Structures are given as structure tokens and as C-alpha cells.
A and B are shown apart, each in its own frame.
Chain A
């Protein structure tokens, strides 16, 4: 079976949906972060796939964007985790249902 673009897109869509489901349904902040990371990974996969199956002899832009994205995601994860810890210290919980300070 030769890899085709459709397969990658299906995997990517599945990954994104899983991530979205996790972000929406989990109550623990860290799980929500993990969900977000999964959605990012799905997006990265798409970038690379579209580059790979795009017109030939192109500069490796898709890979480059994916690399950047990974780096940013790493930073984001670090900041996100730090904030989760800070929130936990302040509120003694990581349950996002209870973190509704912004309620109008």
C-alpha cells in the first residue's frame, strides 16, 4: 500500500478530533493541555503531508513550519504547565470548572 495524501489527512483529522474531544471533555487542566498538543500535532502532520505530496522540487517549507511549530509548542507547553502550577498554588485545584473568575 503506497502512502497517499488521503491516509495522512484521515490520520490527521482523527488526531485533531481526539485532541478536540480531550480538550472539551476533560476537566483537568493538564489533560486539556495534552489535547491542545494533539491538535497541534495534527496540524503539523498536515503541513508536512501537503509539502510531501505538493509540487516537486519545492523548498522544504512544510517541514520548516512544522519544526517552528514544535518549538513554539514546546515553549507553550512550558508556559502552560507553569501557569497550571501557579493556578494550582493559588486555588488549590486544577479543575477548570471551578476556575471561572472571568464569568461576566
Chain B
């Protein structure tokens, strides 16, 4: 069983791919079979993932690879492979579990959509690519699946293709992530050049193993940073984060699966996967590449949390929250807490999917309305959604004990606090924790508390097919906390390969109280600020946010996403347009002008030679021929056609010759 799953690991991504292909080939009126195919593919993938997961439990630090030759060029070979280790297995299980919930949810959510089958084809395709990404044992294979998930994301963001905004968002996402991917691509090339292989693990010859790493030397920093470019693009890190909030144009299950739980976490996963490159030559856990990771992560975490406070769209708030959380994970990886970062990734996958699906349920209940200022009081109409959403909110805010996000956040704080170079990231993250609790409280108050506003008046609870996944994910988010507690850090041990033992004393740590205090402060402040949200308050109109009333300029700055989109539009985008027009102009007028200039010189020469020809040579020939013709005309009069005249002439001629002869003789 153990070796079987290793050699057949490719089956895990193959199932959803096959499902996707099958769905594309059936008619788009056969909705039921499409949904059944997609869910079945996902269930098989889940089952295989669980088998893989179980087989990694047998030994500590389990790692098995299955490498194969992709192709031979010249006399060289390019090899790819799949790897099964705790990191891959944990990701497999998380993706398939969350994916299955979202697939089931989508059956209800997309029930009305006319392109229902296409949706499930894309979703299955994405799932396959994502599963392939996490088990890839080659940076090239990671890149391949990386691009494929990017494609799936592009297709799904632009799924409602008749909306221009969706198409624009899809385009933005594809291009922005591709900017990062180009850096990633260069990183792949550089690594291939230096290490001579792209396989991560290859019985000691892989690029993440001793010999391969040794060959990298000083270039490891650059390779790592280039690979990080890709992670920045995909995981929505500053300065390439702009696409992720716009990606919320896609259907909500897509946001849940791709832009919250799985794909955007791929950047974090990638950094964790190639962590030996980042940490090569580390002095007390610090390298320049990891320092860059930390600062980018901190900037992103704080900036996104600030922006989230001022957003009104329920999905955009969650999107910025995702950006912020991904920044947090990056920080964790950067300061050396790889296990903590991955654990937060896994936990985040569950609770963020839960939150997005909850948001989807809310939007479904409110007939497509996404503005939280138009909701309110939904807790009465949508009790299941409210309960599960509250669980997600608690987990995201990082409430300790029963919610998985709490433990992982605490561990990240713990790791960051002891980062040697600087304590600034630690304090900034503490601010981020407060802000996270604050904006989630704001959101939940606007949506579920108070009196129903415009969109909430005819709200209804979603059908069972949509609430069931919510309940499953909520339980998952709570149960996951059991394997994350510091008292029994099973998952930590599983990921790092260290033995774990039970010790209640570790539960109570100073960091727990710091965390608890900050989260409580955030929630408390949130409740205090928004206690009268959506109602008239001291002359403030109902639709104006209390914060906006207090600090209009700052609020507008945040609500407009710190004007970063506008900044890019003015600089990068207009610059590339100018470059495009300039290239076109150069082509049409400069280069082609040069050619036409040469042509004109040729033409001038042609005119000159023509005149020489016409006036000089040709005219001379004409004159000569005219003269010859005239002479001929004169001469021809002698030819009368009278044969006897000729005969006479001959006779006279002969006579003359005779006389001449006689005279000479």
C-alpha cells in the first residue's frame, strides 16, 4: 500500500483532470452528470490523498519520490517527479477536503447558472492542477502546475464572461501574477544552470539536498528571491497584491477555493517547499532572502488589514483579509517558523473557505447583494450561516483554545518575537492581529446584527446542500485546533519530523495572554465603534461608516485601496502603453521610413536612368532606325516588280562587266 501510492501518486491530480475532460465532452445540458463527475473525481482524489497521508504517518520524516524522464533533448535528459512527504500529504488532504466541500456547495450556489457544466469543468481542472503542484518533485513541474492553476484562476475569475468587470479582473489577475511568474521562471533557469537538476529530491543529487545545494553557493540568494517573485505574485503580496481583491468578480465558490484556501497559498507552499534554498548559509536562522520575505510579509499583512477596515463589499473584506493572512504566513516562514506558517496555511484553508462559503450563502440569501451596508440582522434569517460564519470569524481573528487560527497565530507570534535582526515585524504583526479582529467584528456586525436593511429584507437561509459544507468546514476548523494545540503539537511534529509528546504546561504561555488580550481588544473596540452601525448617530447619516465620520480623509485613502491601483495605472500601465505605441510608431515610421528612404533613393536613381535612357540612348537608336527606314523607302522604288526590268538590268550589268573586262585587258 505504501509503495503503491508513491508510484501512483500521479493518480491524485489525474482524477480531477479526467473529470474535467469528461465534463467538457458532455453536453452542457447534462448538469447532473457534470456535477456528479466533478464531485466523484474529487472524492476519489480525497480517498487517494487520505491513503497517501496515512502512509506518511508510518515513519517520522517520511519522504518518498517517484522520478521519471520527461524527455531527452540532444543527449541530455530532463527529469520530473512526484514527492510524497508530510508537507505534500497535509496539503493534499486540506485541498481535497476543502475542495470537496466547495464542490458540493457550488452545486447549490451555481444551480441557476446557464454555464453550470463549464463551471465544474474549470473547477475540476483547477483542483487537478493544484494537487499536482503540491506533489511535484521538480521546480519545473511546480512551475508547470503553477501556470495551470493560474490559467484555471483566469478562467474562473472571468467565468461570468459577459460582465466586462469580470473580464477585466481576470485579465488583471493573469497579467499581475505572470509578472511574478517571470521572476519565478528566471529562478527556475538559474537553479537549473547552477544545480544541474530541477528535481528537489533525487537520492542525494536533488537541488534541495546536500550536493545540489553545495553547487549553488552564493547564487542561492538570487535564486530564492526570484522564486519568491512568483510567490509574491500568486500569494498577493505587496506590491503585486492588486489582482486578488479584483478576483472577487468570480463566483463565490471560486473565491473560496482558489483565492482564499488553495491557490493563493501556493506561494507560501512554494517558499516552504524550497526552504533549503532560502536558508542556505543562514547565520542564526537569518539570510538576506529570508529577510526580504519577512519585510514583504509584514508590509502586506499590515497594509491589507488596514485596507480591509474600510471596504464595504463582503467579499473584498475577506479578500484583503486573505492578503493579510498570507503576509502573516510569509513572515512566519521568513523568521524560520516553517511549520507554523504551514500550519497557519492549513488552518487558514479551512476557516477562510468557511468564511467565503458563508459569504456566498449570505450573498445567495440577499439575492446577489454584496454591500455589507445594505445587509444587517441576518442572524435571524440565516441561523446556520450565522453560526458557522461566527466560527470562521473567531478562527480568523485568532481566538485561542477552540479555533484553529488561534493556535497557529500564536505560534507565528512566538517565532517572530525571537527574530534576531529586528523586533519591528513583531510589533507590526501585533497591530495586524488587533486590526484583523476589528475588521471581522465590523463585518459581522454589519451583516448579522442590527436591523435588516435594504437587501436583507427578503433574505432566506440557503438550501441544505449549501449549509452542509458550511457545517462540515466549521467542525473542521474547530477539530483542527485539537491537533494544533501547543499541549500536543502533533501537526507540528508531523511536519518537522520531530517526536511529539503531551504536555499541558505548554498550553499556558505568555504569548497566549498577549494573543488573547489583543484579540479581545480588537473585538471589543469593534463592538464599541460599530455599536450603532447602520443607524442614525449624532447627525451622522446611516450609510456613513463611523470611522469615515471620524477620519474622512484617512478612510477614503483606505477605501480606495491606498490609491495603489491608480498609481499603477499612472505609471506601469501607461508606461507600457507608451512603449507599445512607440514601438508601433518606430516600426511604421522610423524603420519602415528608413526602408522607404532607401526605396526613394532607388526611385530617384530610376528616374535619372530613365531620362538618360529615353533622351540619350533610346532617342539615338530611334534616329538611326528612322534614317534606315527612309533610305529603304528610297531604294525600294527601284524594285518595280517587273521581272523584265530586272532582267534588263542584269543584261546591262553583264554588258558593262564585259566592257570593263575588255577595257582592262
Which residues of A line the B interface, CB within 8 A? Answer: 20, 23-25, 32, 96-97, 99-104
Contact = CB atoms under 8 A, between A and B. Distances in A.
A23 B644 contact: yes
B638 A96 contact: no
B647 A102 contact: no
9 contacts: A25-B644, A32-B644, A97-B642, A99-B641, A104-B635, A104-B636, A104-B637, A104-B638, A104-B641
A100 B640 contact: yes
Nearest to B638: A104
Interface in B204-235: none
B653 to A, nearest CB: 13
Chain A at the B interface: SS class: loop
A85 B642 CA distance: 19
Contacts of A103: 639-642
Interface in B42-87: none
Nearest to A100: B641
B651 A104 contact: no
A104 B631 CA distance: 12
Closest 9 CB pairs of A and B: A100-B641, A104-B636, A103-B641, A104-B639, A102-B641, A96-B643, A24-B648, A24-B644, A103-B640
A21 to B, nearest CB: 10
B187 to A, nearest CB: 95
Contacts of B643: 32, 96, 99
A32 B647 CA distance: 11
Given A104-B635, A104-B636, A24 B641 contact: no
Nearest to A25: B644
Interface string B586-614: 00000000000000000000000000000
B613 to A, nearest CB: 34
Contact of B647 (A23, A97, A99, A104): A23
A25 B645 CA distance: 10
B137 to A, nearest CB: 102
Nearest to B646: A102
A86 to B, nearest CB: 16
A60 to B, nearest CB: 29
A33 to B, nearest CB: 12
A24 B651 contact: yes
B143 to A, nearest CB: 93
Contacts of A97: 642
Contacts of B637: 104
Contact of B639 (A23, A99, A102): A102
A65 B483 CA distance: 140
Tell which of B639, B640, B644, B648 has the most Cβ of chain A within 10 Å: B644
A29 B182 CA distance: 105
A69 B648 CA distance: 23
B548 to A, nearest CB: 114
Contacts of A96: 642-644
A99 B646 CA distance: 13
A24 B654 CA distance: 14
Nearest to A97: B642
Contacts of A20: 651
A20 B647 CA distance: 9
Nearest to A35: B647
Contacts of A23: 644, 647
Interface string B618-647: 000000000000000001111111111001
Nearest to A101: B641
Given A32-B643, A104-B637, 18 more contacts: A20-B651, A23-B647, A24-B644, A24-B647, A24-B648, A24-B651, A25-B644, A96-B642, A96-B643, A99-B643, A100-B640, A100-B642, A101-B641, A102-B639, A102-B641, A103-B639, A104-B636, A104-B638
Contacts of B644: 23-25, 32, 96
